[in-house]
């Protein structure tokens, strides 16, 4: 039965000019519940960008400055360079100062994406930090967060 079940797939792979290792890696990569370092880094990059921008917006020294200025200042800093190099090491990318405008655009795009709205709201309420649900947590913040459907056992960065 197993042979008949997969016969069409096997025949297609034999006829096509596919690399068996690449096909196998593709199939292994799509297993639910398995996260690679790359997927973790990729998703945490956006999360970290939203958290940092929230912190920078809430910083009193940035009061009255527009979002683009705040993003450009951060993207031009040593802090962002180290962050970028750390997060992009798996992709073998390093910070390049000549790509500053590209970084500003990428960060702004991440910030304004509709799917980041929940994280912008979350970080605004928590002043840019992830909160771990603890026995002594501030109940009103955690209640408001759990009502919005946020995961409450996240790592605290502060």
pLDDT band at 27 (very low <50, low <70, confident <90, very high): confident
pTM: 0.62
Q: Where are the domains of the chain?
A: 2-147
Whether the per-residue pLDDT at 63 is higher than 60: the answer is yes
Whether the per-residue pLDDT at 151 is higher than 50: the answer is no
pLDDT of residue 130: 81
Ranked by mean pLDDT, the top range of 12-26, 31-45, 108-122 is 108-122
Q: How confident is the model over 67-92, as pLDDT tens digits?
A: 999 999 999 999 999 999 988 887 88
Report which DSSP code applies to 126: T
List helix spans (H) across the chain: 2-15, 20-29, 37-58, 67-75, 78-87, 100-112, 117-125, 139-147
């Amino acid at each position: 039965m197993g042979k008949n079940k997969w016969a069409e797939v096997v025949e297609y792979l034999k006829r096509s000019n596919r690399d068996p290792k690449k096909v196998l890696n593709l199939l292994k990569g799509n297993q639910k519940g398995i996260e690679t370092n790359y997927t973790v880094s990729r998703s945490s990059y956006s999360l970290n960008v939203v958290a940092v921008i929230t912190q920078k917006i809430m910083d009193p020294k940035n009061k009255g400055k527009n979002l683009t200025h705040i993003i450009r200042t951060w993207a031009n800093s040593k802090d962002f360079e180290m962050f970028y190099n750390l997060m992009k090491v798996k992709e073998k990318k390093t910070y390049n100062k000549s790509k500053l405008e590209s970084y500003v655009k990428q960060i702004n795009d991440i910030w304004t994406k509709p799917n980041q709205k929940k994280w912008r709201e979350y970080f605004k309420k928590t002043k840019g930090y992830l909160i771990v649900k603890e026995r002594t947590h501030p109940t009103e913040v955690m209640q408001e967060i759990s009502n919005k459907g946020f995961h409450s056992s996240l790592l605290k960065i502060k």
